[in-house]
Amino acid sequence: MKLSEFDFELPKSLIAQEPVEPRDHAKLLVVWKNERRIEHRFFYDLLDYFDAGDVLVLNNTKVLPAKINARKGTGGKVEILLLRKVTDETWEAIVRGKVHGQAVVHAGEFEIKLSSAGDRWLCMGKMDEIIARYGRTPLPPYIKKDVALEKYQTVYAMVDGSVAAPTAGLHFTEELLARLKDKGVHIVYITLHVGYGTFHMPSCEHVEEHRMEGEYFSISQESATLINEAHKQGKRICCVGTTTMRALESASENYKVKPGNGYTELFIYPGYTFKSPVNAFITNFHVPKSTPLMLTAAFLGKERLFEVYSVAISQGYRFFSFGDAMIILA
């Protein structure tokens, strides 16, 4: 399967630069998986598609202010994207700027020692203080505006660890979650810390050659039990976002979720056989040739997905991280 099969033309005007306010006023494209039917709604209409006993599975990871703007002694600018904490004073990172081998840069009054480690760097210094003082929102490169971290954070973010948001969840408000609970919908939280693996773009000619980078996930016994019991009762189990789907698929066998934690390198693309009991899926409109796009194509079917995207483009739906949403229903 060629990577070029996942490309499509998107007008730049449809790349959302900031989130809709209120969050749940984003548009929602409702796609029926087994029917040639779609509906155009708003995210706050989500309640119409859930009944008591259904389950909504959310990724409660919290985005770190992982972007550091630093400077060299000569005044040259260096951008540091922190990826993974190695020790209290050492992080693995991606560094952009004219830096080679080893170097010392400054963020405000703090010194950061950089050491090349292949295509990554090690950043050493008083990193916790630097992040707290000078960390910025690690926005994707297609977002040109500065956006406050709280707008790139789900309202239910709890566990520090991500360098990008699980963006399908950005549409939820506390009020909408409360209304879903009042209706009897179970809100279940799991964790997958979004790392470089999720947003790293494949560069190989054939999709099958791409390798995902490991990302940490955790699923509690309570969460697994709630999902499995709902499945036994024939309820709707809706996964919110591709990161949540990867975590569930990494921990499932024969439509049963097992509790546990670890690192997943799971890459889901068309042809993949799903193992979790998920039968509904909320996701955003994704970047061409990206792994989240491929996962969505695996769940819905590639041909159908591109038909839906064509409709979304013609109807002016907003794409990518701050864009509108889609729910796929069985």
Considering the domain boundaries, does residue 287 fall inside one? yes
Answer yes or no: do 109 and 225 share one domain. Answer: no
Answer yes or no: do 89 and 30 share one domain. Answer: no
Q: pTM (2 decimals)? A: 0.95
Answer yes or no: do 88 and 164 share one domain. Answer: no
Answer yes or no: do 125 and 220 share one domain. Answer: no
| pLDDT reported for residue 216 | 95
| pLDDT reported for residue 73 | 84
Q: Residue 113: which domain range? A: 67-134
CATH number at residue 105: 2.40.10
CA–CA separation, 202 vs 299, rounded Å? 19
Answer yes or no: do 9 and 118 share one domain. Answer: no
| pLDDT reported for residue 146 | 87
Answer yes or no: do 277 and 189 share one domain. Answer: yes
Considering the domain boundaries, does residue 139 fall inside one? no
Answer yes or no: do 277 and 295 share one domain. Answer: yes
Contact 25, 42 (CB under 8 A): yes
CB atoms within 10 A of CB 49: 17
CATH number at residue 168: 3.40.1780.10
Answer yes or no: do 82 and 185 share one domain. Answer: no
And the tokens for 193?
Answer: 């810390």
Answer yes or no: do 105 and 231 share one domain. Answer: no
Burial string for 100-119 (b: 16+ CB within 10 Å, else e) reads: eeebebebeebebebeeeee
Answer yes or no: do 39 and 181 share one domain. Answer: yes
| pLDDT reported for residue 2 | 97
| Integer angstrom CA distances of residue 58 from 14, 171, 242, 248, 307 | 26, 12, 10, 11, 27
| pLDDT reported for residue 248 | 98
Considering the domain boundaries, does residue 203 fall inside one? yes
User: Any idea what DSSP says for residue 170?
Assistant: G
Answer yes or no: do 214 and 278 share one domain. Answer: yes
Considering the domain boundaries, does residue 56 fall inside one? yes
In this structure, the strands spanning 159-162 and 61-63 are: parallel
Answer yes or no: do 85 and 217 share one domain. Answer: no
Contact 238, 327 (CB under 8 A): yes
Q: Give pLDDT tens digits along the chain (330 positions).
A: 999 999 999 999 999 999 999 999 999 999 999 998 999 999 999 999 999 999 999 999 999 999 999 999 888 999 999 999 999 899 999 999 988 889 999 999 999 999 998 889 999 999 999 999 999 999 998 999 889 999 999 999 999 999 999 999 999 999 999 999 999 999 999 999 999 877 789 999 999 999 999 999 999 999 999 999 999 999 999 999 999 999 999 999 999 999 999 999 999 999 999 999 999 999 999 999 999 999 999 999 999 999 999 999 999 999 999 999 999 999
Query: What's the structural domain count of the chain?
Result: 2
